[in-house]
Structure 1
Amino acid sequence: MGQPRKELTPERSPLHLWGAELRAWRDRRGLSLARMGQLIRYNPSYLARIERGERKPPRELAEAADRKLNASGALTRLWDLIDDKPNAVRRPDDVANLHGHVANARQVIAEMPDFHGESEEAGMLVPCRAQDGRIIFVTLPRRTFLSGMGLGAVAAVTAGPSVAAQPRTLALPDMNPAEHFRQLRTALIDNDNLLGPLRVIPTVESQINAMQQLRQGLRGADARDLLHVQTQYAEFCGWLYHDAGDFRSAQYWTDRALEWSYATGHPETTTYILARKSQLAGDMRDAMQAVDLAEAALAQARPNSRLGAIAATYAAYGHALSGDATASQRTFEEAHEMLTQLDEDPTSPWGAWMDPSYVEVHRARGLAALGDHKAAAAGFRTAITALPPGYHRDRGVYLARESTAYAGASEPEQAAKVGAEALSIAAATGSARIMTELTRLDTQLERWQKVPAVAEFRQTFDSFIAHQA
């Protein structure tokens, strides 16, 4: 029997946090230290000391691990926070301190039930202003992020009690349990649209836990019905983590939803979740995975269905990410064609929001990925105009993407104006998708920093993000 794993101490220093992050990514990919050593050509014993925070990794090791673990730059960005005294204990005001201070922030207190199997070191990316003025992303443990550190605190959600403060309820009297959870899910979706994910995640996770407990006492159709609702909650939980910027937890919950969907025998649910996995892959800029998953969903979707149009839309964006403009535009047109011949299924809970403007939002993203920024900005503006009033957070995402498109088209004043509007929504919702786009905007606008509107935006944005001590 092997020796028990040494407990890591990511709260001790940036070096220890980096080691814990390396282990978390390695565990996620199912790699032993020996296999990891083979992949990046480092001794496993040396890697073990790095994971324990006993050695500072060379930058080339961080970059190699990032590539082999498909960590999207998280390990390299976090490496930038390791100082020349790697074993120094964090100062109380260090931005990487897990219980520290973030400038201009109020803490968001969120109860996090111990439920799913993700490592506690699993991280969420938080924008941080480095000492040399660059914006870097710091990966902080999921629990820390949701208890107030990082973007959750920077967002300083504005008013009202947290959704997490609601009591956990296993069932309501005189109501079918599945129906109770369906009604609650509708209310939680409304909360997410208005307030963003950080207030909603704890309640969603606790309700999944409650459903699992209830199903132990149910049999037959009631148990299957409740499992179907549980699947819908898991997909929603994946979406919330997706919007919060925690892609690994998003993958975890979306994978659980896919697994449970097969058990329910609802092929439409499985199709939708495959499409969502494609959307997540696209946001992680994995073009091949985005196309493959979308095409799998498209193959399963009913002809002339909303789900087919959704899958085609995500496939088209994946083609744009890969640089294939012809395939991208052709597939966007296919999505529009499906919508014109739509065979509506009023009983379907999936994709009721799907319409031509949603296709155009993704076409605009595709145009931006392909370098046609002026057309992308126009596309986002059209989509924003068509948004229903309740889609507060989505409006912020589209505004942020519009602002980066204006910057790409060398229109800095308009970019700064639109970016400021998006920033106010980011502050209210805590959406990492908005903040990620605005971080790109801040970098894009640097060459126009003498333009008054640009200087004002960058100063305001700077006050919203953490700063390296």
Structure 2
Amino acid sequence: MTAGVRRPEGASVAEGGGGGVGHGESFGVALRRTREAAGRSLGDLARSINYSKSHVSKVERGQKNPSPDFARACDRALDAGGALSAMVPARGTPDLPVPDAPTEWTMPWMLRMSLDHGNDFVAYDEKAWADPSLKPGIMSWPLVSAPVFDGESREALSHFSSLFAECRNLGQSFGPAVVTQILVTSMNAMRGLARSATRDTDRQAVLRLAARFAEYTGWMSQEAGDDRASLWWTDRAVALANAGGDPEFAAYTQVRRADVALYRMDGRATVDYTRAAEEASRSTRIRGLAAQRRAQGHALLGEDAECFRALDRATELLSRAARESETDSSGEPVIGSMHLAQLADFVAGWCLHDLGRTEEAVGRLAGGLDAIPVHARRARARYAARLALALAEAGELQSACSVVETVTSSVSVVDSATIRADLQRLARRLHRRPRDPDARLAAARIAAALNTESR
């Protein structure tokens, strides 16, 4: 922070008694003296110039630089005769040298995101990395947060809510490398918005939504195959939600940890995490989602009875949650999957497959693929991969191979570690039938898709 705003050379400063401005004073000192001489309180001045009391106070204490508009407003409100305006002359447009910069659109960019030290954008000249004598940064500017007034954070919240919905839609069409960049920068913008909000209720609402961004970033990290990053973002989601007054969200992140354990084929950890989520949460939907994951954990362990009890409990809870959502006026995003129209059938089919009841699994999965919107490529590919695997293990090899194309046409675009894992299992199954032309073609498609993704 600067100690104040210095008067440029040549700027005239009025002298005189009472509300006059003395030589050598900073703008903040001059403003306070002029205000007090006019008999105006800090709040009264703030209201008359349409700035927040906090903003005016920070200017007077030298913690914030005044803009020319601010100085003119104060001058008019305090009848200072132009003395205050003269201390902050209008900013001109200096002649800027044109940087000797490469014109390639592939030049490296860096955005440093911080709450305490501001944000900075820097574009780099790649040639400087090879030649230390060159200046690496060819364009940079600080991104300074502006103060947030009453109501502005609430207005911004609706825009960020829409952005979150679009990020989830984007995540159905593109990989984590694309979506995560939008999520992280948006989340940091929300942290700054929350920090400068003047109302606790506004700050908490922003932080709760930021928690959703963090949780979805964790899912994108898992889809990218980085479980460590997934759990790190999950922890950030808990911290943001707690600061936003939503202790329930911590229970949902236990379901997310169960997801990671599930794809590691760790049935016991999956059951333990979901049990903790059900015990900790009062939310009907979170308990329903936890019951679904718990059923999948029991299926991995071969525990039929426990699996089916958990599936029944999930069905009852999620049905009740759907009825409750009809009267929910919070406007906050729905927790959990929003693109699998028949999520219950998908989870049940998955469980039946892991229990070795492949024909029943096919029966539960067979009709669900067409119900998923065409634009939801990630959800369709994930469902199709599990369906193809169930078909192959049920002996319906030709049908399995016909489904493979649905998966392989999307996996390299959506870049999903969870889908790749199922494709690798399917490929091992197909390799047992080397003489079957359909199996050979499907295996070749899987190999090409996995190889394309890995490059």
TM-score by length of 1: 0.59
CA distance in structure 2 between the partners assigned to 1:275 and 1:352 by the alignment: 10
Distance 1:465 1:393 in 2: 15
Q: After superposition, where does 1:24-423 map in structure 2 within 5 Å?
A: 176-219=155-198, 220-302=200-282, 305-342=284-321, 343-345=323-325, 346=328, 347=330, 349-351=333-335, 357-423=342-408
Q: Which amino acid aligns with 1:177?
A: A
**Percent same amino acid among aligned pairs?**
27
Contact in 2 for aligned 1:416/1:454 (Cα 8 Å): yes
**Distance (whole Å) between structure 2 residues aligned to residue 170 and residue 365 of structure 1:** 48
Residue 317 of structure 2 aligns with an amino acid whose one-letter code is M
CA contact (8 A) 1:307 1:350 kept: no
In the TM superposition, what whole-angstrom CA distance separates every residue of 1:106-132 from its partner, at most 9, and x where no partner exists?
A: xx999786669xxxxxxxxxxxxxxxx
Contact 1:396-1:422 at 8 Å conserved across structures: yes
Deviation at 1:315, TM superposition (A): 0.9
Is the counterpart of residue 433 in structure 1 residue 418 in structure 2? Answer: yes
Pick closer, same or farther for the CA change 1:341–1:185 going to 2, 3 Å.
Answer: closer
Q: Is the 8 A contact 1:170 1:211 kept in 2?
A: no
1:356 deviates by 8.3
User: Are the aligned partners of 1:193 and 1:392 in contact in 2 as well (CA < 8 Å)?
Assistant: yes
Query: How many residues are treated as equivalent by the alignment?
Result: 310
Q: Give the drift of 1:465.
A: 3.4
The answer on whether the counterparts of 1:272 and 1:350 sit within 8 Å (CA) in structure 2 is no
2:24 is matched with none
1:21 is aligned to: none
Match of residue 440 from structure 2: 455
2: CA distance, partners of 1:425 / 1:169: 40
Three-state SS of the structure 2 residue aligned to 1:195 is coil
SS in 2 for 1:206: helix
Q: Note the C-alpha offset of 1:169.
A: 11
CA shift, 1:236, in A, is 0.9
Query: Which ranges in structure 1 are unaligned for 5 or more consecutive residues?
Result: 1-107, 117-167
Distance of aligned partners of 1:403 and 1:184 in 2 relative to their CA distance in 1, 3 Å threshold: same
Aligned residue type for 1:213: G
Distance 1:334 1:367 in 2: 16
Identify the structure with bigger relative contact order (alpha carbons < 8 Å, sequence gap 6+): 1
Amino acid paired to 2:213: Y
List alignment gaps of at least 5 residues for structure 2: 1-105, 115-142
Partner AA of 1:310 in structure 2: L
Q: Is the 8 A contact 1:113 1:205 kept in 2?
A: no
Question: Which is higher, the Rg of structure 1 or of structure 2?
Answer: 2
SS at the partner of 1:371?
coil
Residues 113 and 370 of structure 1, relative CA distance in 2, 3 Å threshold: farther
SS in 2 for 1:194: coil
